[in-house]
Amino acid sequence: MERALSIWPSRFDELVCESEKGCRLLVSKDRIIHGHCECCESLTFDVEQNGDGSRSDHLNNIIVRYSARSKDEIVDAARKLAQGAGMSEAEAATAGRDSVQRYEWKDVRDQVRQSYILDLRFDHPDSNWELYFSLGAERL
């Protein structure tokens, strides 16, 4: 968790996370306009107890809400975030073709196999375009 917080540009507040296994939920509300989230993020970490009594945090889900004046801007943001998460450039290039999209892929990093599910939603409720980006990861 500390690594994710060190590279993420926002300040987070921790909320209560209800899970039998244990988790941590961090949220950031960078840009709220008239009670509406224009730029917000949440990070959810699974917390596991190690054999020696220490705890390990594993990033399980990232949600980003981002708005911009043009659809091109939010599609570009979605593609960059998806590629940063390990999606191939070719597959990320298809983001933005539909208003709702789902992607699934598997990856191996640091000898850990993971499965990813990415949900994207592109909306235009008012003068701004909005991106909803939800990336879930599960160790295999």
Residue 129: what pLDDT?
94
52 falls in which pLDDT band (50, 70, 90)?
confident
Pairing of strands 13-15, 112-123: unpaired
Angstrom distance (rounded) from CA 72 to CA 70: 5
Residue 33: what pLDDT?
76
Nearest to 33 by CA among 65, 8, 63: 65
- Count of structural domains within the chain: 1
- Domain with 72, as residue range(s), is 2-139
Span 93-121, pLDDT tens digits: 999 999 999 999 998 877 878 899 999 99
Residue 1: what pLDDT?
66
Q: Is the dihedral of CA 110, 47, 53, 20 positive or negative?
A: negative
Angstrom distance (rounded) from CA 17 to CA 5: 17
Angstrom distance (rounded) from CA 130 to CA 38: 8
Q: Is the dihedral of CA 90, 8, 1, 26 positive or negative?
A: negative
Which amino acid is it at 19? S
Percentage of the chain beyond pLDDT 70 is 93
Q: Residue 49 pairs with which residues in a beta bridge?
A: 55
Residue 29: what pLDDT?
78
Q: What is the pTM of this model?
A: 0.83
